[in-house]
Structure 1
Amino acid sequence: MLDLVAVREGGSVADALATALATARHAEALGFTRYWLAEHHNMPGIASSATAVLVGHIAGGTSTIRVGSGGIMLPNHAPLVVAEAFGTLAELYPGRIDLGLGRAPGTDGPTMRALRRDRAETEEDFPRDVAELQRLLGPAQPGARIVAVPGAGTNVPIWLLGSSLFSAQLAAHMGLPYAFASHFAPRMLHQALDIYRRLFQPSARLARPYAIVGVPVVAAPTDEEAQFLASSTYQRVLGILTGQRGLLRPPAADYMAQLQPHERAAITDFLAAGVVGGPATVRAGLQALADATQADEFMLVSDVFDPQLRLRSLDITAQAWA
């Protein structure tokens, strides 16, 4: 499960954080493998900006599920700060913390500059920072002038995230597991997976390629109800595409039918990896995606407005896939 911690229309940030914890507990009870939180900034409808803090909150409120970042936007942070934060989490919750890393800003230009101040980034920075994080989280080296405390020796698992081909190549070169953000950028999914698998070099961390595929999912007892509930996601996507981001809105009847053809096409393209429907439709959609991608895991994103119906959506999805 990937949670953007949506702030709902009529709700508060505190409500969104409580919903995230309740959802994580439900996902854990259903047998989900991991629960990740995404770093975004200056977005009124997303409450996961302090991602490491939220990872600790979710891990502290659950017992067995792995909790992590999907991801930390590494250009916004010094590697030492990330190592210390996730090293602390690993000491608090041993064997349960994941560190997913992205190289996008996770925000707009002005906010990016506010986060990074005067730091100018080059293409070489991200690979170098990932390698530095690996060193900081690995065994402390004799004579090292900089040691992450906490962090050194925790070996927090690092994942590379991407929506293009750059991180696929880097993950392959470094022998790291890879997660593709097809929940919002599915266009290069198959090409990225192909590059990652063909170029993969085994490492001490990973002997063979291991890939996660992001999947937007809205499940309900019927296809019709699922499409109705998914209109909250459709409204959110259109807001992203038109630069009018806001709170997660309640579902609207016949929403897609009211849009212009180019708007419907843009939403459909954005959610091309999505699965929306009743149990049979969800089962068929996930199976088709599994066959096409050979993914090792699916990372579900479910932006259902009603928190209880969101939990029901996860129930139906888990039962359909079982």
Structure 2
Amino acid sequence: MQLSVLDRSRTRSGGSHADALRDTVEFARQAEALGYHRFWVSEHHGVPGVAGSAPTVLAAAIAGATSRIRVGTGGVMLPNHQPLVVAEQFGVLESLFPGRIDMGLGRSVGFTEPVRRALGHDKRDADEFGARLAELLSYFTGDAAVSGYPARGLRVPAFVLATGAGAEVAAAHGLPLVIAAVRGEEAMVRAVDGYRARFRPSAWADEPHVVVSSTVAVADTTEDAWRLLLPGAWSMAHSRTRGEFPPLIPPDEVLALDMTARERTYFEESLRGHVFGTPTEVAKALDGLVRRTGADEVLVTTSTYDRSAMLASYERLADLFTR
């Protein structure tokens, strides 16, 4: 089983957005040394606490700082961009770092209405994802009315990020699917089964390829692994009640918070569905997840305050599956 990394360039208490970006580049070097297959970065606009607003720019910095690991986006949100510009950006990346670039593409729009207005889009643009995706791919195949250099003639592996309907788009275009259990594992398994049943071979992929994305935390004890999840869970609860992600804070500070009933509900919801525990417990849980979904790959994300503990978690995970 292949293991890959998704990093969101989260800020930490006492640190800046610049620190978060530099941490991401250094983390990519470490992930490469641990043997991970891919290192992807995300796209967020106007979200305090998240520095990753320009994934192709950050991917270029990461690719320049590494030598073997595949580098990509998880993902570029296609409704926010003109497909030609996206094709040109990935064409430049592939030309500079041949054979190492991945093009992960999503259909989400801005986090809030003011952000969507600033981007010049609204929620309805997500409905055009399939058409935008087809246009983007046409710049690489040379079928577009405009020659999108340097993308034309290149084959940058394309992936569709999905929670539900996006799986159908991936199948129709013959592209690999990246999916998380946002709506529960049963819904994810149904979406994966539907993707495989509807998959149409294309110039990009001969057969279905499924990447399951999951938050994973590994530590010496189950409790220590659970504590790694607390900063990210509180940040998510805060964002759902106040509209912004705060910098990640230590687990002890999270546990000391006097949360409102609404915050507590979101906090507890944010702790569900993750994979955490000792190496033995995590190995068993991931083996089960892969069996139930038939996944070809697992995309791991872990957002916590202590970077040393986070790296130790990734190192333990790598020891289980990649060495």
TM-score after normalising by structure 1: 0.90
Q: 1:41 aligns with which of 45, 55, 58?
A: 45
Task: Determine helix, strand or coil for the equivalent of 1:148.
Answer: coil
For 1:234, the aligned partner's letter is A
Task: Determine helix, strand or coil for the equivalent of 1:215.
Answer: strand
Instruction: Tell me: higher relative CO, structure 1 or 2? Use CA pairs within 8 A at least 6 residues apart.
Output: 2
The residue number in structure 2 matching 1:84 is 88
Task: Determine helix, strand or coil for the equivalent of 2:304.
Answer: coil
Deviations 1:271-316 (A, max 9, x none): 5441112212211221221122121110000112111211111011
TM-score after normalising by structure 2: 0.90
Matched, 1:64 2:74: no
Task: Determine helix, strand or coil for the equivalent of 1:252.
Answer: helix
CA distance in 2, matches of 1:194, 1:249: 39
CA distance in 1, matches of 2:226, 2:202: 43
Matched, 1:129 2:132: yes
The residue number in structure 2 matching 1:196 is 195
Q: Which moved more, 1:48-57 or 1:216-225?
A: 216-225
Query: Would you say how many aligned residue pairs link Structure 1 and Structure 2?
Result: 316
Identity %: 40
Aligned partners of 1:39 and 1:106 also within 8 Å: no
Matched, 1:248 2:252: no
CA RMSD, Structure 1 to Structure 2 (Å): 2.4
Q: Which moved more, 1:237-246 or 1:48-57?
A: 237-246
Which consecutive residues of structure 2, in runs of 5 or more, have no partner in the other structure? none
Could you list the runs of 4 or more consecutive aligned residues of structure 1 that deviate by over 3 angstroms after TM superposition?
A: 117-120, 184-187, 256-273
The residue number in structure 2 matching 1:211 is 210
Aligned partners of 1:186 and 1:270 also within 8 Å: no
Q: Which moved more, 1:254-263 or 1:272-281?
A: 254-263
Post-superposition offset of 1:68: 0.6
Query: Superposition pairs for residues 58-207 of structure 1, below 5 Å?
Result: 58-116=62-120, 121=125, 123=127, 125-138=128-141, 140=142, 145-163=145-163, 165-182=164-181, 184-186=182-184, 188-207=187-206
CA distance in 2, matches of 1:205, 1:173: 12
For 2:147, the aligned partner's letter is V
CA distance in 1, matches of 2:257, 2:189: 30
For 2:297, the aligned partner's letter is E
The residue number in structure 1 matching 2:314 is 314
Aligned partners of 1:185 and 1:270 also within 8 Å: no
CA distance in 2, matches of 1:120, 1:175: 24
Post-superposition offset of 1:255: 2.8
Deviations 1:124-165 (A, max 9, x none): x21111111111022x35xx64111221112211111112x2
CA separation of 1:264/1:281 partners in 2, compared to 1, >3 Å: closer, same or farther? Answer: farther
Aligned partners of 2:13 and 2:249 also within 8 Å: yes
CA distance in 2, matches of 1:280, 1:268: 24
For 2:35, the aligned partner's letter is G
The residue number in structure 2 matching 1:299 is 299
